[in-house]
Structure 1
Amino acid sequence: MGRPQEFDKREVLEKAMALFWERGYTATSIQDLTTHTGLSKASLYNAFESKDGFFRAVIEHYIETRQKRRLERLKEASPGYDAIDTFFHELVQAKTERDRRLGCLLTNTAVELGPHVSYVEDRLSRAFNNVEDVFRQALQKGIEDGSISDEADIETLAGALSTAIQGIRVLARCGTDEASLQKTAETYLTLIPRP
């Protein structure tokens, strides 16, 4: 038997992520994955066991890279209100750039598979809850630094902002223009009471 093919796992996950992101889980075949990543079928199955295993690895990679990086910026930025404002404006800009109208891999997956695949439902629920937690922290920071009124209902606002993100991502994938999405983002931002 020959040696298993060696490969850069991060590079392969990035390529597979781009494919799943564009086509979705159902429309992506094993043949598509081997062609797009350069892996042989044997290497794919040795490393990930199945298409489902590969997809799970891609979801974890997305959460640990794309989502984590964006949320870290939100956590680190100050003051609290400005951090949230910047987050939404960057989100709209990123989702409406030319050739980037793919929405969000997690949101797309939730719509496609969420109700039917327990792993997806459970994992994405935790990922979305994490986003809500980071908004809670940013809102609390805003109250403490004086950029948000201390009368703000943090729980309700964190949920509303998290929901707004999903809506913006879906609308961006459907081709809604940047100006309209910015107005939507600004409408949600008006829910945050200022001092």
Structure 2
Amino acid sequence: MQSTLPSKRDIMGKQRQFDENKVLSLIAEHFWEHGYAATKVDQLAALTGLTKTSLYNAFGNKEALFLKTLNVYVAQSFSDLFQQLDTNKRMSDNLELLLTKFFVEVDSRELSYGCLVINSILEFAANEPNLYFESTERHRAVRNTLYSFFDLYVQQDRLTPDMSADDLTDLFSIFYQGLRVQARIAQSEEALQRAIKSFLYLMRSLEK
């Protein structure tokens, strides 16, 4: 998700009206950087220039607010990007677009945050069953979108029969998550780009 942080002046008007999408984008990045448990509503109020009461009235409690921001993250980082894909092009061309958007055309600071969905699944697995379930549901939705993308190429017989849509979906997901981890441990940009180049070479070998 590329950073387009609004200022407090953008968020708050003279009549204390605010743009909910801008507020949620700002809060989503805070959760993304710091995690759920370490984030306090007081911090979010200070960050946005809103009162705690305004946040609660607009979005509900901290859990409800987090889920709304998680939806914003998924939309901005995945859903909107998938809509840019052109399946008339080769599969590898579209994958190159995705990986470029995820790992090249992104602020290095945000790249070090990892993936908010995966981070949340790991954070909530032990002691937040509802948030864990909701996070895995978002992950499942992203996977289903990826599966539909790969399945189209399989069904149109545009790939060799070596791998199924499930195989391709799992391979891409694991590769993506691995790159996210590498980025978090300060792997160099050159190393990430070499890995992407190798992955795309493999993908092109499957195209007819």
**Counterpart among 149, 174, 196 of residue 185 in structure 1:** 196
Secondary structure at 2:142 match in 1: helix
Within the candidate set 71, 87, 103, 2:82 is matched to 71
The residue type equivalent to 1:184 in the other structure is A
1:129-144 mapped onto 2 (5 Å cutoff): 129-143=140-154, 144=156
Task: Report the secondary structure of 2:89's partner residue.
Answer: coil
Whether the 8 Å CA contact 2:120–2:132 is kept in 1: the answer is no
Q: 2 CA distance for matches of 1:182 and 1:82? A: 15
Q: How many residues were matched structurally?
A: 190
Residue in structure 2 matched with residue 99 of structure 1 by the alignment: 109
| Greater shift in the superposed pair: 116-125 or 73-82 | 73-82
Q: CA offsets per residue over residues 82-137 of structure 1, 9 Å max, x none?
A: 21233223322145x33333222212222222443223322222222233233333
Please identify runs of 4+ aligned residues in structure 1 that moved more than 6 A: none
TM normalised by structure 1 equals: 0.82
SS at match of 1:176: coil
Residues 103 and 173, structure 1, Cα contact 8 Å, conserved in 2: yes
Residue 151 of structure 1: which of 147, 162, 177 is its match? 162
Say which of 60, 64, 70 aligns to 1:59. Answer: 70
Q: CA deviation at 1:65?
A: 3.0
For residue 121 of structure 1, the aligned residue among 124, 127, 132 is 132
AA partner of residue 86 (structure 1): L
Change (3 A) 1:59 1:45: same
Q: 1:25 corresponds to which residue?
A: 36
Distance (Å, rounded) in 1 between the aligned partners of 2:22 and 2:194: 37
Secondary structure in structure 2 of the residue aligned to 1:27: coil
Instruction: State the SS of the aligned residue for 1:52.
Output: helix
SS of equivalent to 1:99? helix
* 2:86 pairs with 1:86: no
Question: What is the letter of the counterpart of residue 106 of structure 1?
Answer: V
The residue identity in structure 2 corresponding to 1:25 is Y
Q: CA deviation at 1:12?
A: 1.1
Structure 2 residue ranges without an equivalent (≥5): 1-14
- Contact 1:131 1:162 (C-alpha < 8 Å) held by counterparts: no
Q: Between 41-50 and 132-141, report the one with greater CA deviation.
A: 132-141
- SS of match in other structure, 2:161: coil
Q: CA RMSD in A?
A: 2.5
Q: Which amino acid aligns with 2:169?
A: A
Closer, same or farther: CA 182–115 of 1 in aligned 2, 3 Å = farther
Per-residue deviation, 1:50: 1.9
Give % identity. 24
- 1:12 matched to which residue of 2? 23
C-alpha distance 109-142 of structure 1, shift in aligned 2 (>3 A): same
